[in-house]
Structure 1
Amino acid sequence: MSIKSFSAKIFAAIIRRKIDSWAAKPEETQQKVFRDLIRKARNTQFGKDHSFDTISNPKEFAGRVPVRDYEELKPYVDRVVAGEENILWPGKPLYFAKTSGTTSGAKYIPLTKESMPTHIEAARNAILCYISDSGKAEFVDGKMIFLQGSPELDEKNGIKLGRLSGIVAHFVPGYLQRNRMPSWETNCIEDWETKVEAVVNETVKEDMTVISGIPSWVQMYFERLIAKTGKKVGEIFPNFELFIYGGVNFEPYRAKFESLIGRRVDSIELFPASEGFFAFQDKQGVKGMLLQLDSGIFYEFIRAEEFYSEEPQRLTIGEVELDTNYVMIISSSAGLWAYNLGDTVQFTSLKPYRVIVSGRIKHFISAFGEHVIAKEVEQAMQEATAGTDVQISEFTVAPQITPVGEQLPYHEWFIEFEQEPREIDSFADALDRSLQEQNSYYKDLIEGKILQRLKITKIPSNGFQKYMKSIGKLGGQNKLPRLSNDRKIAEVLEKL
């Protein structure tokens, strides 16, 4: 064992004890975070506008600070972007994480001197918890690759801005710099397909032990490696043992990955976003990611079915329940207050608090009142492919409200198969059965002859990559929505 891996084990044990300490006191930890946030921001413009100096508990906070999404918080953010100080958080932010918006174009998410370190520490701690849990540390001596956006930054009114993954690249610890790949020059390539080719050329002869990125884009990297060498990824990188991912559920990709690699490797799931690093998988073989209660983020939760009601109840960490779909609301040291992230989560454990991302509050199908969410279609796909040789590259689901002729409406599954099922109708039946078992509303609609069984539309090879490229979102941190309540994506896919 090298000095580096031995030291990593010692450091991992120290960090694990610290995490266990705050995780054992969840409500106390969140109360401390809440008080610190209110105290530090009371003299900001937002704090004055919402009487922070009179707020002493979360209930008072909920009464004075309404839930807002980016569009609703934008008047404050615009003043920060314009260069004003002390608007949402004391002083000015260190960076803006620039993301694609909806109705307002680009979104500028502040990253402050208090919030920026929490992104770095959470990513580091995820790896350290893996070392502590598994006892494995030799991988720290090999090469690590992080498929991410360009680290080149622009500037707006004296503040650097770029993609979050590109900003984070500037904070990679010195002890990882020698191991980290690809090179800075390759990371700066904007065109994703060109970048992947460059990454392949740089890494194909290296001792890669850790690979990280969104599964669909890592899959493209693996396929290019195999095309270049004619070997499985596990043969090219015999010491590759850890895959780190976030942004999407890995399970629909797992069979395909194992085929490309030639064996199973350990994995760590992360829950990062420009707005904060919220959770990471702290134990192997345990469902859910440990919610980061001690990272300058105060959490509130609203039951998804209540979210669009007039006065939805805002719950704190001590009031949540298992297996309930919640919209996650955050207030943070980045200056985001009662901010609707758009993600929905479910708790898999309350001791400690672990979550899975169940979908997006705006990404669902409820054209007929069924309210099908991403978690349900992903689980249906996982169950339908289990024990078979079927392999899926990508899929998305949309409602077909006005089918041709006298047909009943249905859910249309657009699937790009790597290995097709022997009987497509039987596969569709398996998907539909699973969805009915999970969602009673959907089952009632099927049994009541309001909907017919789902239908599958096969997408040509690389079809989803072509779609993402056509909308300018190929690669990086961009993700295909798992499902939609309209046919905007479906209409493009139908033409492939």
Structure 2
Amino acid sequence: MSIKSFAAKIFAGYIRKKIDNWASRPVEVQEKVFRKLIKKGRSTKFGKDHDFLNISNHKEFAEKVPVRDYEELRFYVDKMVAGEPDILWPGKPLYYAKTSGTTSGAKYIPLTRDSMPTHIEAARNAILCYIAETGNSRFVDGKMIFLQGSPEMEEKNGVKLGRLSGIVAHYVPAYLQRNRLPSWETNCIEDWESKVDAIVEETRNENMTVISGIPSWVQMYFENLKARTGKPVGELFPNFNLFIYGGVNYEPYRAKFENLIGRKVDSIELFPASEGFFAFQDKQNEKGMLLQLNSGIFYEFIKADEFFEEKPKRLTIGEVETGVNYVLIISSTAGLWAYNIGDTVQFTSLSPYRVIVSGRIKHFISAFGEHVIAKEVEEAMQEATSSTGARITEFSVAPQITPEGDELPYHEWFIEFEKEPENMDVFRDVLDKTLQEQNSYYFDLIEGKILQKLKISTMPANGFQDYMRSIGKLGGQNKLPRLSNDRKIAEQLEKIKKQ
């Protein structure tokens, strides 16, 4: 065991104890975060506009500060981006994480001197919790790859901006820099396919031990490795035993990953976003990720089925239940106040508080009142692939409201298979049955003959990559929506099928 590996074990034990300490006092810790945020925000324009001086508890906060998304907060963001200080948080931001907006082009999410360290610490602590639990620290001596955006940054009115993953690249600890791949030059390549080609060449002969990234894009890297070398990833990298991922559910990809690797590897799930690092998997055999209650983020939760009501109830950490779909609302040291990040979560445990990401409040299917969410289609897909031996590359689901003739409406599943099931009808039946078992609304619509059972449209090889390329979203930080409530994506996928 190297000195670095030995030191990592000791440090991991220390950090695990600190985490257990705050995780055992959730309400107290969140109350402390809330008080600090309000105190700090009083000197800002936002704080003055919302009477922070007279806010002393969550009830008063909820009365004075409405829930907003980016567009509704834009009045303040635009002032901040224009260079004005003390708008959402004291002073000016340290960075802007630039992301793609769905309605108005680029979004600028502030990262402050107070919020930036929490992104780094959470990512570090996820790995340290894994070491503390498993005792495996040998991987710190090997090479690690993080598939991410370019670290190159622009500047806007004296504040640097770039993709979050690129900004974080500047904070990789010195003791890991020597082990980190790809090179700076390769990371700066903007064209994703050229970048993956360069990463393959840089890593194919290295001792890779940790690989991290969004599953769909790591899959592309693995496929290219296997095509270039003719070897499974696990044979090429015999010491590769840890996959770190976030952004989308890994389970639909797991069978294909294990086929590409040639064996099982441990994995750590993360829940990072430009707006904050919210949770990470702290136990290998526990479902869900540990919610980061001590990271300068105050959480509120609104039941998803009440979210679009005029005044939905805003719950705090001590009021949530397991198995309920909540819209996640945050206030943070980045200067985001009662901010709707768009994600929905469900709690899998209340001691400690662990969550899974169940979907997006805007990404669902309810064209017929069925309220189908991402978690449900992903679990249905997992059951169908595991029970039939099929392997998928990617999938997306959309409603077909006006089929031809006298046909009943249905859900259309666009699926790109790596390995098709021997019997597609059986595969479809498992998908549909599992979805009915999870969603009583969908079951009732099928039973009542309002909907017919789902249909599968098989996509050609690389069909989803072609779609993402066609909309300018081919890249390591972009995710395909699992669900759509209309046919916009479906129509583009149909065109690709006909090519």
Q: Do they fold alike, i.e. is TM over 0.5?
A: yes
Matching residue of 2:346: 346
Once residues 373 and 191 of structure 1 are traced to their aligned partners in structure 2, the CA distance between those partners, rounded to angstroms, is 32
Matching residue of 1:65: 65
Matching residue of 1:321: 321
Matched, 1:210 2:177: no
Matching residue of 1:406: 406
Matching residue of 1:196: 196
AA of the residue aligned to 2:410? Y
Q: SS of the counterpart of 2:313?
A: coil
Q: SS of the counterpart of 1:426?
A: helix
Deviations 1:27-61 (A, max 9, x none): 00000000000001101000000000110011110
Matching residue of 1:27: 27
AA of the residue aligned to 2:451? L
Instruction: After TM superposition, give the deviation of residue 389 of structure 1 in Å.
Output: 2.0
Matching residue of 2:96: 96
Q: Conserved in 1, the CA contact under 8 Å of 2:388 and 2:427?
A: no
Q: SS of the counterpart of 1:386?
A: helix
Count of aligned pairs between the two proteins: 496
Once residues 387 and 413 of structure 1 are traced to their aligned partners in structure 2, the CA distance between those partners, rounded to angstroms, is 18
Instruction: After TM superposition, give the deviation of residue 447 of structure 1 in Å.
Output: 0.4
Matched, 1:264 2:267: no
Instruction: After TM superposition, give the deviation of residue 387 of structure 1 in Å.
Output: 3.5
Matched, 1:392 2:396: no
Deviations 1:354-399 (A, max 9, x none): 0000000000000000000000000000111114320000000000
Once residues 121 and 26 of structure 2 are traced to their aligned partners in structure 1, the CA distance between those partners, rounded to angstroms, is 19
Once residues 144 and 442 of structure 1 are traced to their aligned partners in structure 2, the CA distance between those partners, rounded to angstroms, is 44
AA of the residue aligned to 2:27? E
Instruction: After TM superposition, give the deviation of residue 424 of structure 1 in Å.
Output: 1.0
Instruction: After TM superposition, give the deviation of residue 476 of structure 1 in Å.
Output: 1.8
Once residues 426 and 258 of structure 2 are traced to their aligned partners in structure 1, the CA distance between those partners, rounded to angstroms, is 24
Matching residue of 1:286: 286
AA of the residue aligned to 1:484? S
How does 1:107-118 map onto structure 2 within 5 Å?
107-118=107-118
Once residues 380 and 228 of structure 2 are traced to their aligned partners in structure 1, the CA distance between those partners, rounded to angstroms, is 34
Once residues 177 and 90 of structure 1 are traced to their aligned partners in structure 2, the CA distance between those partners, rounded to angstroms, is 32
Q: SS of the counterpart of 1:240?
A: coil
> TM-score, structure 1 length as denominator?
1.00
Q: Conserved in 1, the CA contact under 8 Å of 2:388 and 2:422?
A: no
Matched, 1:337 2:337: yes
Q: SS of the counterpart of 2:441?
A: helix
Matching residue of 1:377: 377
> TM-score, structure 2 length as denominator?
0.99
Matched, 1:230 2:233: no
AA of the residue aligned to 2:416? E
Matching residue of 2:137: 137
Once residues 12 and 428 of structure 2 are traced to their aligned partners in structure 1, the CA distance between those partners, rounded to angstroms, is 45
Once residues 450 and 493 of structure 1 are traced to their aligned partners in structure 2, the CA distance between those partners, rounded to angstroms, is 25
Deviations 1:265-321 (A, max 9, x none): 000000000000000000101100000000000000000000001110000000000
C-alpha RMSD of matched pairs (Å): 0.5
Once residues 435 and 376 of structure 1 are traced to their aligned partners in structure 2, the CA distance between those partners, rounded to angstroms, is 6
Once residues 226 and 424 of structure 1 are traced to their aligned partners in structure 2, the CA distance between those partners, rounded to angstroms, is 27
Instruction: After TM superposition, give the deviation of residue 422 of structure 1 in Å.
Output: 1.1
Once residues 285 and 383 of structure 1 are traced to their aligned partners in structure 2, the CA distance between those partners, rounded to angstroms, is 19
Matched, 1:122 2:122: yes
Q: Conserved in 1, the CA contact under 8 Å of 2:151 and 2:166?
A: yes
Once residues 20 and 240 of structure 1 are traced to their aligned partners in structure 2, the CA distance between those partners, rounded to angstroms, is 29
Once residues 456 and 99 of structure 1 are traced to their aligned partners in structure 2, the CA distance between those partners, rounded to angstroms, is 33
Once residues 422 and 483 of structure 1 are traced to their aligned partners in structure 2, the CA distance between those partners, rounded to angstroms, is 26
AA of the residue aligned to 2:249? N
Once residues 217 and 103 of structure 1 are traced to their aligned partners in structure 2, the CA distance between those partners, rounded to angstroms, is 25
Q: SS of the counterpart of 2:396?
A: strand
Once residues 261 and 323 of structure 1 are traced to their aligned partners in structure 2, the CA distance between those partners, rounded to angstroms, is 33
Matching residue of 1:297: 297
Q: SS of the counterpart of 2:119?
A: helix
Once residues 388 and 143 of structure 1 are traced to their aligned partners in structure 2, the CA distance between those partners, rounded to angstroms, is 36
Matching residue of 1:449: 449
Once residues 332 and 400 of structure 2 are traced to their aligned partners in structure 1, the CA distance between those partners, rounded to angstroms, is 40
Matching residue of 1:82: 82
Matching residue of 2:169: 169
Matching residue of 1:184: 184
AA of the residue aligned to 2:444? D
Once residues 137 and 304 of structure 1 are traced to their aligned partners in structure 2, the CA distance between those partners, rounded to angstroms, is 40
Once residues 133 and 82 of structure 1 are traced to their aligned partners in structure 2, the CA distance between those partners, rounded to angstroms, is 47
How does 1:349-368 map onto structure 2 within 5 Å?
349-368=349-368
Deviations 1:186-242 (A, max 9, x none): 000000000000000000000000000000100010011011110000000000000
Once residues 310 and 101 of structure 1 are traced to their aligned partners in structure 2, the CA distance between those partners, rounded to angstroms, is 25
Matching residue of 2:482: 482
Matching residue of 1:51: 51
Instruction: After TM superposition, give the deviation of residue 475 of structure 1 in Å.
Output: 1.4
Deviations 1:122-153 (A, max 9, x none): 00000000000111000000000000000000
AA of the residue aligned to 1:485? N
Instruction: After TM superposition, give the deviation of residue 103 of structure 1 in Å.
Output: 1.3
Once residues 221 and 102 of structure 1 are traced to their aligned partners in structure 2, the CA distance between those partners, rounded to angstroms, is 27
AA of the residue aligned to 1:152? E
Which segment is superposed worse, 474-483 or 384-393?
Answer: 384-393
Matched, 1:5 2:5: yes
Once residues 385 and 466 of structure 1 are traced to their aligned partners in structure 2, the CA distance between those partners, rounded to angstroms, is 24
Q: Conserved in 1, the CA contact under 8 Å of 2:38 and 2:52?
A: yes
Instruction: After TM superposition, give the deviation of residue 172 of structure 1 in Å.
Output: 0.5
Once residues 40 and 131 of structure 1 are traced to their aligned partners in structure 2, the CA distance between those partners, rounded to angstroms, is 36
Deviations 1:79-122 (A, max 9, x none): 00000000000000000000000112100000000000000000
Once residues 285 and 224 of structure 2 are traced to their aligned partners in structure 1, the CA distance between those partners, rounded to angstroms, is 30
AA of the residue aligned to 1:100? S
Q: Conserved in 1, the CA contact under 8 Å of 2:367 and 2:401?
A: yes
4+ residue segments displaced more than 3 Å: none
Matched, 1:462 2:457: no
How does 1:237-256 map onto structure 2 within 5 Å?
237-256=237-256
Once residues 371 and 301 of structure 1 are traced to their aligned partners in structure 2, the CA distance between those partners, rounded to angstroms, is 19
Once residues 25 and 185 of structure 2 are traced to their aligned partners in structure 1, the CA distance between those partners, rounded to angstroms, is 45
AA of the residue aligned to 1:337? W
